[in-house]
Amino acid sequence: MKIGFVGLGTMGAPMAGNLVAAGFDVTVHNRTRQREEGFEKRASSPAEVASDKDLVVMMVSDTPDVEEVLFGPHGVVHGAPPGALIVDMSTISADATKDFGARLAEHDIAMIDAPVSGGSEGAEKGTLTIMVGGDEADVERARPVLDVLGGKVTHIGPLGSGQLTKAVNQVIISGYFEGVAEGLVLAMKSGLDPYKVVEALSAGMARSAVLEMRAKNMIEQTYPLGFKLALHLKDLKIALESGIDLPVARMVKETEERLVAEHGDEDMSALAIEVRRKAGL
Ligand code: NAP
For residues 151 and 223, membership in a common domain is answered with: no
For residues 204 and 72, membership in a common domain is answered with: no
Neighbour tally for 261: CB within 10 Å: 8
Last residue of a domain, one of 110, 140, 157: 157
- Give the chain's domain count: 2
For residues 101 and 175, membership in a common domain is answered with: no
pLDDT digits (tens, 9 = 90+) for 217-267: 999 999 998 899 999 999 999 999 989 999 999 999 999 999 999 999 999
For residue 19, the enclosing domain spans 2-157
Global pTM?
0.93
Neighbour tally for 170: CB within 10 Å: 25
Q: What is the pLDDT, as a whole number, of residue 100?
A: 98
List ligand 1's pocket residues with C-beta within 6 A: 7-12, 30-32, 35, 59-61, 65, 68-69, 90-91, 116-117, 119-120, 226-228, 231
Alpha-carbon distances, residue 28 vs 2, 173, 248 (angstroms): 11, 31, 39
Q: What is the pLDDT, as a whole number, of residue 215?
A: 98
**Tell me, what CATH number does 228's domain have?**
1.10.1040.10
For residues 73 and 143, membership in a common domain is answered with: yes
Question: What is the helix (H) or strand (E) element at residue 6, kind and residue range?
Answer: strand 2-6
**Tell me, what CATH number does 120's domain have?**
3.40.50.720
Q: Which residues contact 229 (CB under 8 A, 6 or more apart)?
A: 223, 256, 259, 260, 263, 264, 265, 266, 267, 268, 270, 271
For residues 177 and 89, membership in a common domain is answered with: no
Contacts 24+ apart (CB under 8 A), 23-32: 24/145, 24/148, 25/1, 27/2, 27/3, 27/53, 28/4, 29/4, 29/5, 30/6
7 CA to middle of ligand 1, Å?
6
Last residue of a domain, one of 120, 141, 157: 157
Name the stretches of the chain with pLDDT < 70.
Answer: none
60 CA to middle of ligand 1, Å?
4
For residues 183 and 147, membership in a common domain is answered with: no
For residues 173 and 198, membership in a common domain is answered with: yes
Phi and psi for 55 in degrees, rounded to 5?
Answer: -150, 135
Q: Of all protein residues, whose CA lies closest to atom 25 belonging to ligand 1? A: 10
Q: Of all protein residues, whose CA lies closest to atom 21 belonging to ligand 1? A: 31
12 CA to middle of ligand 1, Å?
7
Q: What is the pLDDT, as a whole number, of residue 226?
A: 84
For residues 179 and 222, membership in a common domain is answered with: yes
Q: What is the pLDDT, as a whole number, of residue 119?
A: 87
Burial (CB < 10 A; 0-12, 13-18, 19+), residue 198, is: buried
For residues 119 and 221, membership in a common domain is answered with: no
CA 128 to chain centre: 10
Question: Known catalytic residues?
Answer: 166
For residues 33 and 56, membership in a common domain is answered with: yes
Last residue of a domain, one of 125, 157, 189: 157
214 CA to middle of ligand 1, Å?
21
Q: Of all protein residues, whose CA lies closest to atom 3 belonging to ligand 1? A: 9
For residues 83 and 176, membership in a common domain is answered with: no
Nearest atom in ligand 1 to the alpha carbon of residue 7 is 9
Q: Of all protein residues, whose CA lies closest to atom 18 belonging to ligand 1? A: 65
For residues 54 and 139, membership in a common domain is answered with: yes
CA 135 to chain centre: 21
pLDDT digits (tens, 9 = 90+) for 71-96: 999 999 999 999 999 999 999 999 99
Q: What is the pLDDT, as a whole number, of residue 57?
A: 98
